[in-house]
Amino acid sequence: MFIQLITVGNLKEKYLVQGIAEYAKRLTRYLKFQMIEVADEKAPDTLSEAEVSGVKAREGERILAHVKEGAHVIALAIDGKLWSSEELAAEIDRLGTYGTSHVVFVIGGSHGLSDAVLSRAQQRLSFGRMTLPHQLMRLVLVEQIYRAVKINRGEPYHK
């Protein structure tokens, strides 16, 4: 299986970079993993609703440019489904069992994801109603993908 994580913006915080690198390294024992960072839009802190839509649209175009035809896309969105670690593991297993070899998780920028990206996604996943920094979500998601792989293989880690 090939799992991609497409995110908006460059990760600069050393502790997050190191954490993601550690889980990505662990994942390579089990599957092909790749993280792609697309440029975020430089914008002032205060934007009109139309300007926010424009920012999300431009970032969305960059995201979609990396999504291959036939890939199964799971967008992280606050209105998505809440899955437990076991449910994420079961979904990854189900996708692989029924012929989906390429899964793409998408994390938007600080304004979220464009309607075009959300429309392209087959599923929406939420980690809860709390707002978390999109940079931190990268680490949380990569750890959860690793945990899901370990659950599916019946290997120790999941507690």
Residue 9 labelled as part of a binding site: no
Q: How far apart are CA 31 and CA 29, in angstroms?
A: 6
The reply, when asked if residue 108 is annotated as ligand binding, is yes
User: By CB neighbour count within 10 A (0-12 exposed, 13-18 middle, 19+ buried), where does 121 fall?
Assistant: buried
* Closest among 36, 28, 115 to 68, alpha carbons compared: 36
Name residue 118's amino acid: L
How far is the C-alpha of 46 from the C-alpha of 52, rounded, in Å?
A: 9
Task: Report whether 137 belongs to an annotated binding site.
Answer: no
To the question of whether residue 1 is assigned a binding role by annotation, the answer is no
On whether 130 is known to bind a ligand per the annotation, the reply is yes
Does 131 show up as a binding residue in the annotation?
Answer: yes
Binding residue positions: 76, 108, 127-132
Binding residue positions for S-adenosyl-L-methionine: 76, 108, 127-132
